[in-house]
Amino acid sequence: MIKSMEKMIEILSLYSSDCTQLSIKEIQDELNMPKSTVFRILNTLEAHGYIHKNDDTHLYALGYQFFRLGSIYQSNLDYRRVALPEMKKLMEDTKETVELNILDGSSRVCIEKIDSPLDVRSFVRVGERKQAYLGASGKVLLAFLSDEEQQIVLKQIQSEEKINIKKLKDELVEIRSNGYAFTQGERIVGSFAIATPILGVNGTLVAGLTIAGPLQRLSEERISVLKTELIKTAKTISNYLGYFE
């Protein structure tokens, strides 16, 4: 029974956004399974609504039951709860303060944090609100908005602050291209911040994940290590939220 379930999972794991339909032969060739086994498992899944067979093409696609289960998962998803264990791991690995931020109007707001255990560290308060155009935490949120949303927020910022909006736009394009934002002493003298987005279904922006600390602990090698660990953690959280590249 367990072996059959393992084979069923192997078959279902072949489906992706780039591969939405499969034939029995494709499954058989990919997994090196007997045709009778593949046929039996697909029939069982089809009978319970987890697989849909196109009678004209004889191709098999995922069934409506996965949409139902996915909807249940999404409705019960608390991204702060999902992010917190990964944030703790990131802090333990880097020994720097880790923040979870969201965008509210033209401000970025810290909604969760794990403090560094070191005496010299970056301080941030949950609920703290800062201008989004200053510092990595806010800029990464602006950079990964949809074009339409970004335009609205930038107009609001321009009406509130005297800043070079073209320079900011150019910086946001670069951040989006790089996949992260890095600033030194931009908001707080003597500190650094590296931030990257957390994305949900269809690549929509959910929040931003930030590592922050004092410049005295920074080096070129350490920047690379922190950036790698940060992006890896954000991708893990994004996967839990339904985003896959």
Task: Please give the pLDDT value at position 126.
Answer: 85
Give the mean pLDDT of 115-131.
84
The residue out of 26, 49, 74 marking a domain boundary is: 74
Q: Are residues 107 and 127 in the same domain?
A: yes
Residue 159 has pLDDT above 80, yes or no: yes
If asked whether residues 33 and 94 sit together in one domain, one would say no
**Has residue 112 been placed in a domain?**
yes
Is residue 141 domain-shared with residue 40, that is, in the same domain? no
Count structural domains, the chain.
2
- Structural domain that includes position 25: 2-74
Percentage above 90 pLDDT, the chain: 64
Residue 138: in which H helix or E strand, if any?
Answer: helix 136-143
Q: Which DSSP string do the residues of 190-235 spell out, in sequence order?
A: TEEEEEEEEE-GGG-EEEEEEEEEEGGG--HHHHHHHHHHHHHHHH
Identify whether 245 is part of a domain: no
Distance from C-alpha of 220 to C-alpha of 168, rounded to nearest angstrom: 25
* Mean pLDDT of all residues belonging to the chain: 90
One domain, residues 120 and 192: yes
Is residue 243 predicted with pLDDT exceeding 90?
A: no
Residues 171 and 197 placed together within one structural domain of the fold? yes
Q: Which of 74, 106, 135 is the last residue of a domain?
A: 74
Q: Tens digits of per-residue pLDDT, 193-225? A: 999 999 988 888 999 999 999 998 989 999 999
Q: What is the pLDDT of residues 80-121, one digit of tens each?
A: 888 999 999 999 999 999 999 999 888 898 989 999 998 877
The pTM of the whole model exceeds 0.75: no
DSSP class of 7: H
